[in-house]
Structure 1
Amino acid sequence: MDNILNYSLEELSNWMKENKESAFRSKQVFSWIYKGVWKFEDMKNLPKTTIEKLNNSFSIEKPKIVHKYESKLDKTTKFLFAFNDGNIIESVVMKYKHGNSICISTQVGCRMGCKFCASTLEGRIRNLTAGEMLAEVLLAQETIGERISNIVLMGSGEPLDNFDNVTKFIELVNADYGLNIGQRHITLSTCGLVPKIYELADKGYSITLAISLHASNDKRRREIMPIAKKYSIDEILKACDYYIEKTKRRITFEYSLVSGINDSVEDAIELSQLLKGRLCHVNLIPVNEIKENTLRRPSKKTIEEFERTLNKYKIEVTVRREMGSDIDAACGQLRRKYLEGRD
């Protein structure tokens, strides 16, 4: 049985016509779904015969909330969602003055192997469908009782490793018949799958692309990111230049600062030289410490010196404000802790 959340308006309209229903019923169905209705029987303006056909062909797959954690520090809310097959993923809602942002997962686990990330420790179990990603947003929005206006594809998983489902999700969540979240309010984070960056650029979206760089040279990057053995920084930057040219959008380079690994002034100078003249912004992220490795966060003084050096070389930079630190809100931490406790 198909999950109707995977369907676009056009696809559902075609199904309606094939099943001797009026195409306008599709808009009625989606109107209910995007208001948070999860049962066809509760869609009051649908005839019983239409509801029966829908029930025979579709499900509306609502994940189960396994746990919900709320930060006492900044109102960040972290969800552990379970799908029908028992797989667990996590999503985080962050509240800002400009609106609510959600960081969603795109895969169950991840196969990229980045040393600083807890979500990659068991590898990738499976991809999420576009509808499952959409359900993360719908259920989180329903639970907090407020509209979500910004989406970050930066939770568990590598979005470009699940390209078709992720791009369909972007189109579904952007659609005016759905949540109507503008593409400029969507950020996609990738560790740098070069061919897919070109493919994404050719889609012509106006989303923000964020590149997980985390090092200023290939040698150091290979130490913490296995993907660096496949694609060099030079190849990634050429793909980024193409993306900027095609979309006219500024790229964010994410840089996790790890004590004694990539946090020196020399690293900052080298990073500045790499990015000089590009339409970009650097997001410095003091590394989230996890028990499975020895990577440690630099001192506040070191972080400030790194930021100062980038500013000196005219590179736009911010230091990410840590959200939900009291609820293990960083990527993959909570899911792993839950799975360890279940075993």
Structure 2
Amino acid sequence: MDGVPNLTQAPVKPNGEFLYDFVAPDSGTYWYHSHDRSLEQVARGLYGALIVEEKNPPKVDHDIIVFIDDWRLNAQGKQEGDFDNLHDQVHSGRMGNFAKALFRGNNAPIKQNQRIRLRLINVATDRIFPIALTGISGKIVAYDGMPLSTTEPLKKLIISPAQRVDIIADVSSNKEISVLYSEENNIKIGSLAIEGKAKKSKLPIPILEPNKMISPNISQATNLDMVMEGGAMSGKISMQDVNNGKAWMFNGVAGIHKKPFHQFKKNQTAVIDLINDTRFPHAIHLHGHHFQILNKQGELSPWRDTTLVESGESQKIACVFNNPGKWLFHCHMLGHQASGMKTWVKVV
């Protein structure tokens, strides 16, 4: 039920239907979107939130989804149609000239001192969003749908495409909650008005119920390298490669091939070294699984399904491949994915 055309299913034809029928085992903030010409279809808005509630949800006054997106608009305010722009694809991707935070779920007025849950989702085609929030005081409680074992202080956030951040906070302002694009002089890209005042909660910010996860066995792990290559100024691609959708590669291979990046036995642990040998950052996303980043001291990060790897850097991720099937493994800068930076793994 993963929805990847020509890997797990045929595309849904115009005027056709496909019934997705699955069990959602893990509570948290997730999202869905088209994977057929996702470079265009996601940019045009074919996405949505998929919220899996906890058995015992935390007590909040408002549970609000915050989609963070950008669009490339012309002088008339309509979306530009140059989705296959090759210059975009070999650089940072399709950068919009208009950004907005879109709120869903706040049907009643928000009052000062109320407790709220914000579910931030970066649904942008390619843009990495540095985000600051004002008007609230709280904690980060989950990343990419997975609860944190210890809450983290609310801080400036760097959210790459496909990443999610859950925040539980108390409303401190009597005017508004603002979402700021903090890279460009704290430009306000969205806000929620505050109306009235409520009694402040005396309860601490809660830790969410954990999902059932299998910890990676690092000592028995299969070690693999995934090298990101290509793009502008790399010296490894030609215009012919770019025109053929092969501007970006994993380990010298562009696009989906019959052979997977690797075949894993169920419950096999792997440590994959994500090596960014390009001039641009990449948001590497694994379908069907969560992983942990392994630092040089051997410590494991909170669970993620998408990680941002900066140009010239590398990250080791540890994953237990316990979900049988074929799973896409790709850059979620959708311009990079469209032009080659994608592969797949198989779990048997």
* Shared fold per TM-score greater than 0.5: no
Bigger strand share: 2
**TM-score of the aligned structures, taking structure 1 as reference length:** 0.28
**TM-score of the aligned structures, taking structure 2 as reference length:** 0.28
